[in-house]
Amino acid sequence: MPDPWQRESTPMWPRRDLLDLLGIEHPIIQAPMANACTPELVAAVSNAGGLGSYGAAATPPAKLRETVRRIRELTDRPFLVNLFAPAVERHQSSPGRTAALAQVLAPWHAELDAGPVPEPVVTVGPFAEQLAVLLEERIPLFSFHFGPPPTEAIERMHAIGARVLASATTVREAQILAEAGVDAIIAQGAEAGGHRATFALPWQHGMIGNLALIPQIADAVTVPVIAAGGIMDGRGIAAALALGASGVQLGSAFLACPENNIPTPYRQALLAARDEQTLVTDLYSGRPARAIRNRYIEEMEQHRDALLPFPLQASMLRGLRAACARSGRDDFISMWAGQAAGLARARPAGELVAQLVRDYAAVTAALRGAP
């Protein structure tokens, strides 16, 4: 049986710049989600004509090589790997600060029977080694969070024919990235779940809603713009492309897919999330990120003085996280989610991509008053 939407899939998209740049069929990018995404998820999205992304910031170099090879076993289509800009690797604690946080966490460990409070470890990077592996493996597409990668790194990625994407939360940040040689801008609206990408100003100044952010960035740069934040279905995709984006990046929509690696209580909270339930907090990792409100966020606010810098804070919470996952509790898990996460529907990622394409076609047909 012929698929009417499949036949017209290429001409239906209003802009070809991003499709040509990335070598994909549909301008739908699954957001890289460190610690949540799997090679199976990435491959399923790419095989469906979208772009699968692997969030590798927390993946050690040897494991990263193995992961890239696994993705290539599962798909021969383009895929993307995301790293954090190396600027965020400046992290320092001290025995005194570690002890102070351990004292705050100890009663919760006792309550959850979570064993001793773990020592802080560096869970991000090292950037130079991660980049070296990805260049050796000649991956086709990179993206960066928390600012642009160093110029020399961009040159090395371009030298192997790869394309480089990076996230901006304001027009000024988009201009900085474009001047740095980035090939496409991910415009991260205030709606987005997970870490704020803001790097050039205080994060509170970079909380621009996508309806305002996308057209202003599209007017300010000549490279393709990818909208991220609050996009869950064909309505959101049509809105983003109407605003001037060439493509979209969806996180929360793909988080609930069965290919993903998130604890059951997190998946349940995501599917039940209400619009007013998320907030931007630095209490989980040391950097601001949008998550579903829970008990930890409320209670840890009283102990803000004990917070360790990014990413050490998150590493000391791993005992509580594991205990929650074991016991089906969601009160100490960092449940990153966007402001429309409640629109998520749990279904295989390939089916989700096909559904998004069909819904986009239906929404844009209706916009012209078609019967």
The three-state secondary structure class of 155 is helix
Shortest CB 360 distance to its own copies, Å: 9
Cα-Cα-Cα-Cα torsion 293, 197, 261, 39, nearest 10 degrees, comes to 170
Q: Is residue 255 a contact partner of residue 36, using CB atoms and an 8 Å limit? A: yes
Shortest CB 217 distance to its own copies, Å: 8
C-alpha to C-alpha distances, 321 to 105, 154, 284, 285, 327, nearest whole angstrom: 12, 36, 11, 13, 10
Shortest CB 195 distance to its own copies, Å: 17
| Closest to 326 measured CA to CA, from 115, 72, 169 | 115
CB of 57 or CB of 340, closer to its own copies: 340
Shortest CB 288 distance to its own copies, Å: 14
Burial status of residue 355 (CB atoms within 10 A of its CB: 0-12, 13-18, 19 or more): middle
Shortest CB 177 distance to its own copies, Å: 15
Angle at 184 between CA 179 and CA 189, to 5 degrees: 100
CB of 113 or CB of 276, closer to its own copies: 276
Which amino acid appears at position 191 of this protein? E
Residue numbers of the site for its own copies (CB under 8 A)? 11-14, 170-172, 189-191, 201, 204-213, 215-216, 219, 227, 229-233, 235-236, 238-244, 274-276, 279, 338-340, 342-343, 363-369
CB of 156 or CB of 235, closer to its own copies: 235
Shortest CB 216 distance to its own copies, Å: 5
CB of 58 or CB of 214, closer to its own copies: 214
CB of 139 or CB of 237, closer to its own copies: 237
Q: Is residue 210 a contact partner of residue 191, using CB atoms and an 8 Å limit? A: yes
CB of 64 or CB of 177, closer to its own copies: 177
- The CA R_g of the chain, rounded to the nearest whole Å, is 20
